[in-house]
Amino acid sequence: MAKRIYFFLLFLAYSFNSFAQGTHRNEIGFETDDDSYLAQGFDRYYTAGTFLFFRHALKPDSASQLQNKVLGFEIGQKLYTPQSGSINLTGVDDPRYIDRPFAAYLYAGVNLNLLFKDESNLKLGAQLGVVGPAALGQQIQSFIHNTFGLYHPSGWEYQIDNDAEINLSANYNRLLIRDSWIDLSFTSYANLGNGFTGAGVGPLVRLGNFNQLFNSESTQSTAIYSSTLKPLHEHELFFYYQPLFNWVGYDATVQGSLFNKASSTSIAITGTPDRIVLSNQLGIGYAGKRFVVDAAFVIHSRDVKNMLTNDDWGDLTVLYRFR
């Protein structure tokens, strides 16, 4: 018994010491996106997303301008439907209601986040995934709806055909100006692949208690190898607004395969993407010694030219930091 008490006290001491320290090299967590979070009674377009993350801080080269370097791994799934997850409005499925294709995207990815002392960062990523029935969109949506007693989804027989995806991405951010309680940054991204090709730019405005961009929830850099510069705040708690101007070159969840077009026997329904898409994200970010939380809602203009209306959804991210 005495030995057990000793090891229990030793565990508590280690946990307290780890909690008290301001840097944690690892974090694990999830993100969930859903239009139902906005309580509008709609279930359409980008209807749900689920993602799992693991991030590990690497030691920056002391001779470089890097302040932080984070290696990340993730797996995720996105679900897309037309104006409703059920096109059975007259007793049979009616494809005339498909104003955005049924589609799912399932992937695994890796990224490297390089964060510089001048408060700029470059995040490089790669994803391997699949669009189509193999992405299990119909099964997941049906399981969720059956579990919570919601309507039965229908119309997935018209979803985008199976297609393997290889996608590369780059994100670049840079601080422009800062005062004690507000700052403004430039944000941008570019995607290249047979699944998604496009780019976007826009500002990021933060108001509240935020840290430098090399140690902030804003740039997914709360995993830190060692702290050589004092953060602006012990905890982050801030509101943010991020509008984005997006150019869409290719979107496999709308257009299907880039190289292998559907056969004449396929009943998959594809669409024509709107090349210019505007999005607005408003949220709140928190980063403490153990937990990182981000909650936001997004208003997104039409992905497809003949969509009835804009798209909007809420998202929630929760991460746990540890040594």
- pTM higher than the cut 0.75: yes
pLDDT in tens, 91-116: 788 899 999 999 999 999 999 999 99
**Tokens 């119309």 identify what position?**
155
Q: Give the pLDDT confidence score for residue 1 in this predicted structure.
A: 45
Describe the chain by its helix, strand, coil percentages, rounded to 5.
15, 50, 35
Spatial distance between the Cα atoms of 116 and 122, rounded to a whole number of angstroms: 9
For the segment 255-270, the average pLDDT, to the nearest whole number, is 85
Q: What is the pLDDT of residue 264?
A: 65
Average pLDDT over residues 149-153: 88
Q: Is the residue at 13 inside a domain? A: no
Confidence of residue 20 (pLDDT cuts 50, 70, 90): very low
Q: Residue 15's pLDDT is what?
A: 43
What pLDDT, in 10s, does the model give residues 50-68? 999 999 999 998 778 999 9
- pLDDT bucket at 151, cuts 50 / 70 / 90: confident
Tell me the residue range of the domain where 177 lies: 24-322
With respect to residue 40, please indicate whether it lies within any of the assigned structural domains.
yes
Within a domain: 220: yes
Domain assignment of residue 15, yes or no: no
Q: Determine the average pLDDT of the residues in 61-86.
A: 93
pLDDT score recorded for residue 4: 46
Q: Is 12 exposed, middle or buried (0-12, 13-18, 19+ CB in 10 A)?
A: exposed
Do residues 188 and 200 touch, judged by C-beta distance below 8 A? yes
C-alpha to C-alpha distance for 195 and 130, rounded to whole angstroms: 9
Handedness of CA 89, 95, 96, 100 (dihedral sign): positive
CA–CA distance, 165 with 127 (Å, rounded to integer): 8
Residue 4 lies in a domain: no
Query: Does residue 302 form part of some domain?
Result: yes
* Number of structural domains the chain divides into: 1
Establish if 2 belongs to a structural domain: no
SS3 label, residue 170: strand
Q: Which residues contact 154 (CB under 8 A, 6 or more apart)?
A: 85, 86, 87, 88, 93
In a domain, 187, yes or no: yes
Strand pairing category for 276-287 and 163-178:
unpaired
Average pLDDT over residues 203-227: 95
Three-state DSSP at 113 gives strand
Q: How confident is the model at residue 149 (pLDDT cuts 50, 70, 90)?
A: confident
> Please, what's the b/e burial string for 47-63 (b: 16 or more CB within 10 A of its CB; e: otherwise)?
bbbbbebebebbebeee
CATH number, residue 261: 2.40.128.140
